Amino acid sequence: MDKSPSAAARPYFAVPLSVRPQAVKAARTLTKAALEEWALDCLVDDVVLVTSELVTNSLESHADAIILFLVREADGQVNVTVWDDGPGLPEEREMDLASDGGRGLLITRAVSNECGWEPTDALGGKYVWARLGPKPNETER
């Protein structure tokens, strides 16, 4: 099965990512390609940003496995989900202007319509997800 976005006229894809810093760049590239394939260029910046933050958080959780899921919904929304087998659940931190990190979930919450996380008992680890796109009550301008 070809998992590349360019092979996907389908509204979803799932890609296992390497557990190395290069995974963040790969996730950004794949996400941008999928959104362009889906003609959702207007969402590229926000969805790529959120994808980058969620994959970075997975790497920082000392995961041994990471999978990126993207789903295009019929209402124009895009769901970004990252599963990893790392221990613990994400925690939002207080904003520390002196710190180089710790803003991923704050950024995700700021640009997403919804976001959250769920532990995966059967697989271990957790899913961290965000839903982005036009707000349900937004009208065309």
Q: What pLDDT, in 10s, does the model give residues 81-139? A: 999 999 888 777 666 666 566 667 888 999 999 999 999 988 789 999 999 997 655 54
pLDDT of res. 135: 65
- The pLDDT of residue 33 is above 90: yes
CATH class of 11-132: alpha beta
Q: Per-residue pLDDT averaged across 38-46, rounded?
A: 94
Measured distance CA(94)–CA(103) in Å, rounded = 8
DSSP bridge partners of 114: 131
Task: With CA atoms as reference, report the closest residue to 52 among 86, 125, 101, 92.
Answer: 101
pLDDT of res. 98: 62
pTM listed for this prediction: 0.83
Token match 């790392």: residue? 86
pLDDT of res. 23: 96
Reported as a single tens digit per residue, the pLDDT across 10-29 is 699 999 999 999 999 999 99
